[in-house]
Amino acid sequence: MITLYGTPRSRALRVSWLLEELAVEWQFSFLNFAKGDNRSEAFLALNPSGKMPVIEDDGLVVTESAAIQRYLAERYGNGKFLPTAGTAESATHEQWVSFIICELEQPLWSMGKHKFALPEEQRLAAMLPVAKFEFDKAAKIAESWVPESGYLLGDKFTIADILLTQTLLWARAFEQDIPPKLSDYLERLSTRPALVSVLAKTEAIAKAAQESE
């Protein structure tokens, strides 16, 4: 059985959502960051950075959300969730993946770090408007690329769609302006059954874990 370590609406959502789409057997191990679960000896043995998500699959430990997604899609996807390697679709897909992680998500994580993630003495309020500027710039580019309907690659739902949707959910949680086409895209993808299901499942597990502590 695959074990996913993380919290419900973090980058771990990228993995839990894909696991739900794949319909493989998996379990969710909730990390309570407020209690320092990510700094425990057991978790640091899996990922010395103390960051999530992390999966364990038959003795294999994989970190970094995009790497985990690719591994799961290649091993369990039976041709789904990734375009055929070496095609124009694959090039477009990899362009999206790189852009989302390096350009669109990066300023949102800067906001998160300087609002709550970094030690208080390391947080800089001056970073917040800079991060907003960077996000707005990246969102404008994504807005010009995103299709009016369907998924990023037309009718094929891929890892890139999961990455973009989760990143836009972060943007919404951080109260950022999302351009119209991106907003419409987010609304379309937010109703996907596997996403709705996995959020309910992981949030229930997290709530039960916190209540038992």
pLDDT in tens, the chain (213 residues): 999 999 999 999 999 999 999 999 999 999 988 888 888 888 888 899 989 999 999 999 999 999 999 999 999 999 999 999 999 999 999 999 999 999 999 999 999 999 988 899 999 999 999 999 999 999 999 999 999 999 999 999 999 999 999 999 999 999 999 999 999 999 999 999 999 999 999 999 999 988 886
Q: What is the pLDDT of residues 95-124, one digit of tens each?
A: 999 999 999 999 999 999 999 888 999 999
CATH classification at residue 128: 1.20.1050.10
Rounded distance, CA 98 to CA 96, Å?
A: 5
| Structural contact between residues 104 and 138, judged by C-beta atoms closer than 8 angstroms | yes
User: CA distances (Å), 47 to each of 44, 111, 130, 158, in order?
Assistant: 5, 23, 30, 26
Same domain, 99 and 180: yes
Other C-beta atoms lying within 10 Å of the C-beta of residue 213: 7
Instruction: Give the pLDDT of residue 213.
Output: 67
Q: Of how many residues is the chain composed?
A: 213
Other C-beta atoms lying within 10 Å of the C-beta of residue 123: 14
Total-model pTM: 0.95
Same domain, 21 and 46: yes
CATH classification at residue 47: 3.40.30.10
Same domain, 76 and 106: no
Domain of residue 68, residue span? 2-80+194-212
